[in-house]
Amino acid sequence: MSFIDRSKLRDAIQKALETSPRRKFKQAVEMIVVLRDVDVRSPEGRIREIVFMPYPINKDIKICVVADGDMALKAREAGAYKVITRDELTRIQGNRKEAKRIAQQCDWVLVRADLMPLVGRILGPALGPRGKIPVPVPMNADITALLKKYKAATMIRTKDQPQVMCRIGTEDMPVDQLVENAIAVLSSLEGKLKNPLYNIGKLIVKTTMGPPIEIPIR
């Protein structure tokens, strides 16, 4: 990365952990990137990217799988939080309360590709407002490997403000793992910006309830 020094990033994450008040729950470690001269209404400014980080977020990430047959069976065996078959999905149709409940529960929704139209129609209206998207997976995908992969996934996206905020881990993870996850996110974001050194106006890390710590940008 051309716009940030690794040691400064590490120092900021360390400080964010040290200054964070203790809570009775496991706090997330979040990164906020404030963008400069990026029009979020333009195609170039609309950033929406799944980033697969090198280390899983040390938290119970709830992954739901919509599938039938062998994929549904393997998803259950692999510990998917929830497996929804075609028949179960069809029964949900028109039940907005149940669709919202699923959208609230699931961090990620992996969908066998042939069921995507059905999921888009039934769960899409509940997932969209929560910033979640159904992820299509091929019919022959290794769902066990995908479940493991999405345990270390985070979403970077712009909404109505020129900024990106995402979770890079939890407060009980080693600092070096948080650093590597942050670098994965920033590297992905760098590829989306015309001039990262200029377009990134401010970079901040913090825990859920902790003070924001700004990272110096070159």
Write out pLDDT tens, residues 85-134.
Answer: 999 999 999 899 999 999 999 999 999 999 999 999 999 999 988 888 89
What is the reported pTM? 0.88
Name the class of domain 6-58+152-214.
alpha beta
Tens digit of each residue's pLDDT (9 = 90 or more) over 27-45: 999 999 999 999 998 888 8
How many Å is the maximal CA-CA distance in the chain? 54
Burial 127-159 (b: 16+ CB within 10 A, else e): beeeebbbbbbeeebebeebbebbbbbbbbebe
Residue 1: what pLDDT?
A: 61
pLDDT, tens only, 142-166? 999 999 999 999 999 998 899 999 9
Q: What is the CATH number of domain 63-150?
A: 3.40.50.790
Domain residue limits, the chain: 6-58+152-214, 63-150
